[in-house]
């Protein structure tokens, strides 16, 4: 068996630490070096992963010998700068979303990737999920009839969520954060990969009066591939945390819920679960890392491209602007 591909992690926040744990379980990938500006975070990570080398700077991660890829999990404004540094070093680049809120710089990065055939991908967690696969299959084989509408619903007890507390203030602020960029974007990705680029027909985000904090609720109406789409989301209220995306056809429906839950409704109206959220999560996450390996090796893969990620962000930003 060939040696495991070496990955460097830029930032050890929530997503960086989750990826670190997942890489430790993959037989052909290994996180060998990482960086984070928070000394407390680094100390805790060292306890759980004593084999991981901690770099003093992001540049030291990117310049580490024998490295194959960098995984960028820093706040969004820094994504493209680190990506370009990775490309300069001849590395594959696996980047967190949102890719960027600077569309011009995003297009420059995409042009560079396409011109140089550079190895790259973006982390949308549902890209290799059974839910997305089921929706795309239904659209191909007509098993739920003609697609009639898509409904996306999100609710959060608080934002940022408690487990995101260490990620940084930016998650709570309008400039880079908010649930639309962090959560709704995953479902917009599924929508656009399955049905094509969405257009925003109407959007009503609700922002706090302070002019700084991220959205607290929104309603939007979109159209993707001729299929009407409704979006409803809110923070607080009586609803617990949940997410749900339902593709309704003339003879049935498919629903992704609570991230990896999947169920199908037949002509009789009954809902039947397919797999469990836990088993579907395992399939999706394992498949994602297998695709990351293919990307690193320069092979065809199904990871979202930088172009797909920017297209998602264009839709998200249009929603956040309100129309």
Each residue's pLDDT tens digit in the chain (323 positions)? 468 999 999 999 989 999 999 999 999 999 999 999 999 999 999 999 999 999 999 999 999 999 999 999 998 999 999 999 999 999 999 999 999 889 999 999 999 999 999 999 999 999 999 999 999 999 999 999 999 999 999 999 999 888 776 666 888 999 889 999 999 999 999 999 999 999 999 999 999 999 999 999 999 999 999 999 999 999 987 777 899 999 999 999 999 999 999 999 988 889 999 999 999 999 999 999 999 999 999 999 999 999 999 999 999 999 999 97
CA–CA distance, 50 with 67 (Å, rounded to integer): 19
Q: Which of 67, 96, 123 is the last residue before a domain boundary? A: 123
- 81 shares its domain with 150: no
pTM above the 0.95 mark? no
Q: What CATH number did the domain enclosing 260 receive? A: 3.30.360.10
- 231 shares its domain with 212: yes
In a domain, 156, yes or no: yes
Q: Which residues, in sequence order, are bridge partners of residue 2? A: none
Tally the domains of the chain. Answer: 2
221 by DSSP, 3-state: which? strand
- 160 shares its domain with 240: yes
- 104 shares its domain with 146: no
Domain ranges, residue 206: 130-288+307-321
Spell 289-310 as b/e; 16+ CB within 10 A means b. bbbbbbbbeeeebbbbbbbbbb
- 152 shares its domain with 279: yes
Helix (H) or strand (E) holding 82: helix 79-88
139 by DSSP, 3-state: which? helix
Q: Which of 88, 123, 158 is the last residue before a domain boundary? A: 123
Q: Which of 83, 101, 123 is the last residue before a domain boundary? A: 123
Q: What CATH number did the domain enclosing 28 receive? A: 3.40.50.720
- The Cβ of residue 149 has, within 10 Å, a number of other Cβ atoms equal to 13
183 by DSSP, 3-state: which? helix
> Which among 262, 261, 263 is positioned nearest to 272, based on CA atoms?
263
In a domain, 295, yes or no: no
Which is it for strands 92-96 and 69-72: parallel, antiparallel or unpaired? parallel
Helix (H) or strand (E) holding 249: strand 242-249
- 117 shares its domain with 193: no
In a domain, 181, yes or no: yes
- 153 shares its domain with 262: yes
- The Cβ of residue 323 has, within 10 Å, a number of other Cβ atoms equal to 12
- 25 shares its domain with 163: no
- The Cβ of residue 277 has, within 10 Å, a number of other Cβ atoms equal to 14
- 185 shares its domain with 39: no
In a domain, 138, yes or no: yes
In a domain, 246, yes or no: yes
């Amino acid at each position: 068996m060939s040696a495991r591909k070496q990955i460097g992690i830029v930032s050890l926040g929530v997503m960086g630490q989750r990826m670190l744990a997942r890489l430790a379980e993959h037989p052909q990938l290994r996180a060998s070096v990482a960086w984070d500006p928070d000394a407390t975070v680094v100390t805790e990570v060292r306890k759980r992963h004593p084999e991981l080398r901690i770099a003093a700077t992001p540049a030291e991660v990117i310049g580490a010998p024998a490295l194959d890829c960098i995984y960028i999990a820093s706040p969004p404004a820094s994504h493209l700068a680190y990506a370009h540094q990775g490309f300069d070093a001849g590395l594959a680049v696996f980047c967190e979303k949102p890719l960027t809120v600077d569309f011009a710089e995003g297009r420059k990065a995409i042009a560079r990737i396409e011109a140089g055939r550079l190895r790259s991908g973006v982390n949308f967690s549902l890209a290799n999920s059974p839910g997305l696969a089921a929706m795309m299959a239904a659209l191909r084989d007509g098993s739920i009839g003609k697609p009639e509408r898509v409904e996306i619903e999100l609710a959060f007890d608080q934002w940022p969520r408690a487990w995101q507390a260490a990620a940084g203030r930016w998650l709570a602020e309008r400039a880079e954060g908010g649930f639309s960029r962090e959560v709704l974007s995953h479902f917009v990705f599924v929508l656009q990969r399955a049905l094509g680029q969405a257009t925003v027909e109407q959007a009503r985000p609700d922002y706090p009066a302070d002019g700084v904090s991220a959205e607290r609720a929104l309603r939007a109406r979109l159209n993707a591939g001729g299929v009407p789409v409704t979006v409803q989301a809110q923070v607080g209220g009586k609803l617990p945390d949940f997410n749900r995306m339902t593709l309704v056809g003339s003879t049935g429906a498919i629903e992704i819920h609570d991230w990896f839950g999947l169920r199908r409704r037949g002509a009789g109206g009954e809902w039947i679960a397919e797999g469990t959220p836990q088993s579907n999560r395992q399939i999706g996450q394992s498949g994602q890392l297998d695709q990351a390996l293919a990307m690193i090796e320069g092979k065809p893969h199904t990871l979202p491209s930088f172009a797909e990620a920017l297209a998602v962000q264009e839709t998200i930003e249009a929603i956040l602007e309100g129309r």
